[in-house]
Amino acid sequence: MNRKSFLKHTALGLAMAAGLSLSTLSHAATTLTMSSWVPPTHFLVKDILQPWMANVEKATEGRVTIKMLPKAVGSPPQHWELARKGVADVTWGNFTYEPDRFKMMWFAELPMMGSKTEATSVALWRTYQKYLAQNDAMKGVVMLGVGMLGGGQFNHGSKAVVTPEDLANQKVRMGGPIQKRILEDMGAVPVSAPATKAYELLEGGVIDASLHGLESVVNFRLDGKLKYHTIIPNGLYDATFFVVINERKWNSISAADQKAIMSVSGEALSRHWGQEFDKQMVSAEAKMRADGHTFSNPSPALSQKVKDIRSTMLKEWSAEAPSFGVKDPMGMVKFYEDQYQSLAK
């Protein structure tokens, strides 16, 4: 081979090698899309999701980034299915919005399951890992984290709710079957609507009261309408949340980057979720007390009524457990409660 031919082949080889290197780098870089259904100014985006997204990018040394879409690609109840079908790669949402599909999660939403959200969220993650990760309902996605609300409460527009009688015929917004059952058994009239519709319903006089965690009263700007709050110890009810990624998209990510992502997800993300909700609960209560809101404790009769509803619902749920793939429902509940107690100390 003469010098001219040698140089030509060498240049061609270098160009091919450079092209292959660029192709490899391009293939290794993955941008995931994320759909979120609350405003970008909401603390859940600013203080939980965006820091987690930054942690994913850092843990993978920039090979995996998550881009928040400018607006949600579906309604709140659709977000599990949006991830499962790959309409968005990553979504978060509320298991409560698809109650029949996720009936195995009901135990964590019953009354008096815990009011320290860091502890409830981590307990739920550990319970999910031990008992629910292989459940058929979870197919098609990979769970990146779970979270809880930290205890929802009665919030009324014009009076304190202290006794069961105070709820008679009151129209109360609620978001799921457990909340509906509680209200019905209390003699109230449940009105089904997402939290995002509560202000409109209050403004129009459609409802008298609304079930929320205290942070939601402030963050959904309902504190001008809901001035009376009844604090049920360990919560009147709870809500369970998920952060998931489409399974096919997950499988396209290298094993090393999957491991890196999970190092900042899973229990770490669930713990951070709970910590931020705990902060929000404290600051929301402080704000509303400073603004002159009325906070009440339940009467013994109201407390007992809530306990009785919890007991009855737990027994009914446990009896149905085989139909939604849970073999040892009470063992799962005990595991969750034990985890919570150890974490809440």
Residue 175 lies in a domain: yes
Domain count, the chain: 1
Whether the full predicted model's pTM is greater than 0.95, yes or no, is: no
Residue 210: predicted pLDDT:
98
Residue 170 lies in a domain: yes
pLDDT(6) > 80: no
Residue 109 lies in a domain: no
Residue 54 lies in a domain: no
pLDDT(26) > 80: no
pLDDT(11) > 50: no
Domain at 308, CATH number: 3.40.190.10
Q: What is the mean pLDDT of residues 95-124?
A: 96
| Residue 230: domain span | 153-237+288-312
**β-strands 228-230, 294-296: how paired?**
parallel
Confidence of residue 167 (pLDDT cuts 50, 70, 90): very high
Chain center to CA of 43: 13
pLDDT(1) > 70: no
Q: What is the mean pLDDT of residues 53-82?
A: 97
Confidence of residue 27 (pLDDT cuts 50, 70, 90): very low
Residue 174 lies in a domain: yes
C-alpha distance from residue 239 to each of 50, 99, 108, 167, 313 (Å): 22, 11, 8, 22, 16
Residue 141 lies in a domain: no
Residue 90 lies in a domain: no
CA-CA distance, 41 to 113, in Å (whole number)?
29
248 burial type by CB count under 10 A (0-12 exposed, 13-18 middle, 19+ buried):
middle
Q: Identify the three-state secondary structure at position 173.
A: strand
CB-based contact 34:67 (threshold 8 Å):
yes
Residue 196: predicted pLDDT:
84
Residue 225 lies in a domain: yes
Task: Report pLDDT digits (tens) over 293-343.
Answer: 999 999 999 999 999 999 999 999 999 999 999 999 999 999 999 999 999
Q: Name the residue among 298, 277, 295 with its Cα closest to residue 286.
A: 295
Q: What is the mean pLDDT of residues 203-225?
A: 96
Q: Identify the three-state secondary structure at position 65.
A: strand
Give the rounded percent of residues in the chain with a pLDDT score beyond 90: 88
Mean pLDDT, all residues of the chain: 92
